Structure 1
């Protein structure tokens, strides 16, 4: 079997999509089948996103999903892409991922972001936790997590004198790898100043990618854990045996993206048949939004997509791309599986389509 171990390594980002008529249990089962296949195929890492209150997304709790994935895999790195840190206490995040590291030593990534991952109402509900919800303290909270997950732990200093030692786990021998994620200059500059690996959310918005990478690389300061800049790219990707099938499987995601960017109510992900039937309902704005999104995606046959990804990686000087497999489902495909996403993963590492 061919594996994703060529010059360009491949990884996977999963939002645990929920399609029309599918339950959360079925959506999670489908994603766990995808991560098991990614492990077999030799993908480098598999990250779960954090989003809230979205009908088409079931990845609300990355640590839970990572734990479930760890039980079904043996070698692939698993992590968050990412945990939205202002929503959580740094100590809780550190304890969760230290526990995951104990479950799967040497295989855990902790990707941290500072965006809310939802709408303002949900953000307020998530952030009813005092000072931990202060976005301006994001750098301090990242430093807290780095200390808490280390073998030495952290020390709380009291104004009255004395210290109190705190550790995420009592006897850590390995630690999760911490990454900073972002879609703006801020996270790139913070990752550079802290000497941390960094990922720009190109799959969400490609605007500002080159500037963010330049800021990160030129401003990078070596740290105890990282001697030089380390980054990879994310991209929306779909491979199919034919261009026609690729176009059809991309349509549900294109229509969902148009709704999101037009601030229309979000729905469960349409089936391919629903997307085709509803195509006439979209106006010129929606068509323009879909065309704009599609221009930044990699959709087509295995050969064309592989060539595009290799060129994209070479252009930006990286050796890894994390794909978000944007393959919709036909109505007759099983609810607890995701054949289109699995097919994308298989075709990208096979010798031929």
Structure 2
């Protein structure tokens, strides 16, 4: 039997911040990583949107996308995603129309409806009022689709007449819009709108199969897309040895345990700090780490590549977007992401082989 083809690989980046690292150093490390992904042949590179978290510097995807676009020539760059209820649809459309003008044919606009932070930050982000109404999420997606199109949108007044609005004066291409989510709702909405869809498996693996089934069976062709299009995300760490990979998993696993156990959040620990603090967690936090680790892909380049190929085949996708969550050792430079670079390099070599 012929071998199962390896999936195309893409990258999701939260711009992790480790202990002792500045935001400038964390962003420099991520921009180095996007250049590497471009050189290695990865398909796309997306930045997430999270707010007021000590271990995450990806607060403004459009800014990071612009910086990434200026440092790359081939790879698609985009958001994974913009949390639309936090923003005016017109502002999002203008930002991504400008990005599309900067890098024509390379911009992805991934949209989600989660807040991306705690209730206090959510209130601060949504001070603009009704434009941030989460219940109008489907309406705002349609607004963006019309605004970024070359012909723009027309506002019709009840008293008669129209007012034309364009996200940019003279668009020749448009960003590719994706809908993101981790629930049946997002899958069904993407299907009804005829948009490509990504389930946030890296954050919440529960419900993946059902969401993909709902999306595929309920999909309605649109002017944007004539058939379902989707891929799968995954947390991934590859290293020279399985032991090193497991060690590099510890900082992110401990951060997830803090998040899901309502413990105070901190910058990402180094591997050494994580090992030294192994006895600090109670049974709940330890259980969260164990459950979380079970859904990750951790090992050597060859073993992880084989697991990702099987994972892609099982879910009927030809692309996997990896979130490279490898932690750092104390001696590794603060302006680089040595473990994450290694993950991208080893996986690229293994899938080519």
> TM-score per shorter chain, which class?
over 0.9
2 CA distance for matches of 1:321 and 1:294?
18
1:200 aligns with 2:199: yes
Question: What corresponds to 1:61 in structure 2?
Answer: 60
Question: What corresponds to 2:277 in structure 1?
Answer: 278
Question: What corresponds to 1:230 in structure 2?
Answer: 229
What TM-score do you get using the length of structure 1 for normalisation? 0.97
* 1:262-273 superposed matches below 5 A: 262-273=261-272
Question: What corresponds to 2:78 in structure 1?
Answer: 79
Match of 1:279, SS state, is coil
Question: What corresponds to 1:3 in structure 2?
Answer: none
The alpha-carbon deviation at position 7 of structure 1 amounts to 4.1
Match of 1:347, SS state, is helix
The alpha-carbon deviation at position 187 of structure 1 amounts to 0.9
What TM-score do you get using the length of structure 2 for normalisation? 0.97
**Contact 2:16 / 2:26 at 8 angstroms: preserved in 1?**
yes
* 1:95-106 superposed matches below 5 A: 95-106=94-105
Question: What corresponds to 1:350 in structure 2?
Answer: 349
1 CA distance for matches of 2:90 and 2:165?
9
Q: Compute the RMSD of aligned alpha carbons.
A: 1.0
Match of 2:178, SS state, is strand
2 CA distance for matches of 1:235 and 1:163?
46
Question: What corresponds to 2:291 in structure 1?
Answer: 292
Match of 2:46, SS state, is strand
2 CA distance for matches of 1:251 and 1:194?
40
Match of 1:32, SS state, is helix
2 CA distance for matches of 1:126 and 1:140?
19
2 CA distance for matches of 1:346 and 1:7?
15
Question: What corresponds to 1:145 in structure 2?
Answer: 144
Match of 2:292, SS state, is helix
Question: What corresponds to 1:157 in structure 2?
Answer: 156
Deviations 1:147-168 (A, max 9, x none): 0000110001111111000000
Deviations 1:270-294 (A, max 9, x none): 0111001100111221111111000
The alpha-carbon deviation at position 351 of structure 1 amounts to 4.2
* 1:241-252 superposed matches below 5 A: 241-252=240-251
Structure 1 runs (4+) greater than 2 angstroms displaced: none
* 1:16-95 superposed matches below 5 A: 16-95=15-94
**Contact 2:301 / 2:350 at 8 angstroms: preserved in 1?**
no
1 CA distance for matches of 2:242 and 2:313?
24
Deviations 1:244-266 (A, max 9, x none): 10011000011001111101111
Match of 1:281, SS state, is coil
Structure 1, gaps ≥5 residues long: 1-5
**Contact 2:6 / 2:309 at 8 angstroms: preserved in 1?**
no
Q: Number of residues paired by the alignment?
A: 348
Question: What corresponds to 2:215 in structure 1?
Answer: 216
Q: Which of 128-137 and 57-66 deviates more?
A: 128-137
